[in-house]
């Protein structure tokens, strides 16, 4: 299933309630929420208190991407906000297996993210427990970067590994530089969940933009 998860990193933070209602009405499948701590990545965004406040605005699943150094120690905060899917980085300081297990024990879906320089094989030991793997197609930390097409072989290798092991329900997400021009490339490689920020929010008709992205991904 092809899913669009618009990133509110590109939304109007002064009007988040309005922006989330726009996403709901436009037919978004999830809301991608980037959490940055200024340590794991060189930027700071919103945190658990803001997510908690906006949870009541929409029934869309919250796709929370933790770009933080110690996701395990902060996990209870994000579980309490009502996050549906919690993705953290395999490069973080927390023990990967322990963090995955803690997310699952909380009743949430677990995702693992890899930076561009990280081999995709690092997620293989956890595939049976994951709902999603996020392949970063830019260096994490800032929006508006250019899509890295050389990440596509990582997606292909991951799809092949899932097929080899009979894993049919793993979502592969791409985040970074996803536009009308790049979404078909990522979809062809095997991605099925697409994070896009400025390329979507720049459109006055957000519903038409999301529908177009899905059509382009479907080929």
65-119 pLDDT per residue, tens: 999 999 999 999 999 999 999 999 999 999 999 999 999 999 999 999 999 999 9
206 or 144: which leads in pLDDT = 206
Residue whose token pair is 């929409």 = 58
Is position 84 annotated as part of the catalytic site?
no
9-35 pLDDT per residue, tens: 999 999 999 999 999 999 999 999 999
Contact partners, residue 105, CB within 8 Å, separation at least 6: none
The closest of 55, 52, 95 to 73, measured between CA atoms, is 95
Any idea what the CATH number is for the domain that residue 40 is in?
A: 3.20.20.70
pLDDT, position 144:
65
> How much of the chain is helix, strand and coil, in % rounded to 5?
45, 20, 35
Is position 34 annotated as part of the catalytic site?
yes
pLDDT, position 140:
86
pLDDT, position 143:
62
Name the active-site residue from 29, 63, 171, 175: 175
Q: 216 and 184 in contact (C-beta within 8 Å)?
A: yes
Give the domain extent around 62: 3-218
Name the active-site residue from 12, 29, 34, 128: 34
146-186 pLDDT per residue, tens: 899 999 999 999 999 999 999 999 999 999 999 999 999 99
Domain count along the chain: 1
Tell me the pTM: 0.96
């Amino acid at each position: 299933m092809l899913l669009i998860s618009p990133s509110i990193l590109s939304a109007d933070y002064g009007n988040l309630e309005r922006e989330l209602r726009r996403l709901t009405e436009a037919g978004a499948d999830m809301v991608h929420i980037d959490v940055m701590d200024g340590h794991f990545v060189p930027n700071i965004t919103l945190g658990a208190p803001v997510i908690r406040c906006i949870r009541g605005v929409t029934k869309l699943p919250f796709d929370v991407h933790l770009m933080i150094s110690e996701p395990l120690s902060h996990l209870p905060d994000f579980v309490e906000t009502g996050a549906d899917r919690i993705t953290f980085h395999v490069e973080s300081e927390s023990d990967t297996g322990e963090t995955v297990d803690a997310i699952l024990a909380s009743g949430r879906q677990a995702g693992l993210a890899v930076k561009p320089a990280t081999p995709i094989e690092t997620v293989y030991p956890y595939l049976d427990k994951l709902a999603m793997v996020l392949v970063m197609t830019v260096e994490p930390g800032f929006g508006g970067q250019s899509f890295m097409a050389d990440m596509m072989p990582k997606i292909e290798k991951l799809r092949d590994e899932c097929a080899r092991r009979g894993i049919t329900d793993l979502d592969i997400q791409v985040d970074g530089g996803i536009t009308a021009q790049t979404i078909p490339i990522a979809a062809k490689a095997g991605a099925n969940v697409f994070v896009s920020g400025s390329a979507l929010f720049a459109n006055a008709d957000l519903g038409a933009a999301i529908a177009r992205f899905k059509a382009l991904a479907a080929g």
